Structure 1
Amino acid sequence: MSKASVEPFAEFVDSLKQAGVAISNEEELRERLSETQHWRFAFATLVAYGQALGIRFKKGCDRINKAAIHRACIRFHLPESTEATLAATIQAQS
């Protein structure tokens, strides 16, 4: 797989982490996203159902930068519904 096809999802995941999101089983998340051209759909699915694989999104520190998460979702063209599901998942895991 070429580097160009990996960069968008990897940059997105890194943006989430910089915004204060901790990702359990991040290696599995990255592996699954790297296996598909439709990583945005795969990400949405893993946010909603990834717990069975040990993939969880939660607060990595005392404060989550919601504006940074929003900017990342816009920059990487994720649907609003995915952003809302991610926010709800983070809140539920906290």
Structure 2
Amino acid sequence: MGSLSNESFDEFLDSLKRAGIAISNERELRERLAEAQRWRYAFSTLASNGRSLGIRFKDESASVDQAYIHNTFARFQFPESMEVAFAASLKAEH
């Protein structure tokens, strides 16, 4: 579990963007994650409840690389339930 501290939220968000995810109010999201002691928990909370802050994740191109997203969540050691919730929220945006 030592690798958890070596992986940054910046790398995680950049990976999501490479997969084709657009992030609304990305600056606010990054600021809040930088302040959080446990950024994975903060990300999960903001991904689910960040709409009031303008934080949204979207598949604007309809060509999101689902396999890349799966690998990103696995590499950053998120629980599968978070990955499933995140994927569902992307589909709800359409």
Q: TM-score, normalised by structure 2?
A: 0.89
Match status 1:83 vs 2:83: yes
Instruction: Give the root-mean-square deviation of aligned CA atoms.
Output: 1.5
Cα distance change of structure 1 residues 18 and 34 upon mapping to structure 2, 3 Å threshold: same
What amino acid is aligned across from residue 83 of structure 1 in structure 2? E
Distance 1:39 1:69 in 2: 18
Q: Identity of paired residues, percent? A: 54
What amino acid is aligned across from residue 62 of structure 2 in structure 1? D
Unaligned runs of 5+ in 2: none
Provide runs of 4+ in structure 1 moved above 2 Å. Answer: none
Distance 2:69 2:27 in 1: 20
Shift of 1:18: 0.3
Shift of 1:7: 5.9
Instruction: Report which stretch shifted further, 11-20 or 81-90.
Output: 81-90
Unaligned runs of 5+ in 1: none
Distance 1:63 1:35 in 2: 32
Distance 1:10 1:33 in 2: 9
What amino acid is aligned across from residue 52 of structure 1 in structure 2? S
Shift of 1:81: 1.2
